[in-house]
Amino acid sequence: MLRSRIPQFFHPEIRQLIELAVEDAWQELKNEHLADAKSVKERLATTIVALAAIGETNTAKLKHFALHAARATYRSQKRMSERRQMAAQNF
């Protein structure tokens, strides 16, 4: 994640924590073959920045919550895709 994408109001140490959490989460999703788009990484970053903005600075927690949100989004999108395919087959 580019440093310029993290809001400037964060202290430099917090900005580094955000970068670390985003990169760790991204690598974990890549290992699970769930991170194939830039938009996924941006969603991870958005979640982590939002949590940091309300005071969370524990990188493990930032990563955990961002991964939880990303996995939930992935499962939801997968179910929607499966439903569309089933609906198309029924026509």
Contact of 41 with 1, CB cutoff 8 Å:
yes
Q: What is the pLDDT of residue 9?
A: 87
Please tell me the least confidently modeled range out of 9-18, 58-67, 78-87: 78-87
The rounded distance, in Å, linking the Cα atoms of 67 and 50 is 14
Whole-model pTM: value is 0.74
What DSSP designation does 5 have? G
Query: What is the per-residue pLDDT across 4-53, written as a single tens digit (0 to 9) for each?
Result: 677 888 889 999 999 999 999 989 988 887 766 677 888 898 999 999 99
Give the pair of three-digit tokens for residue 16. Answer: 């580094």
Contact of 43 with 69, CB cutoff 8 Å:
yes
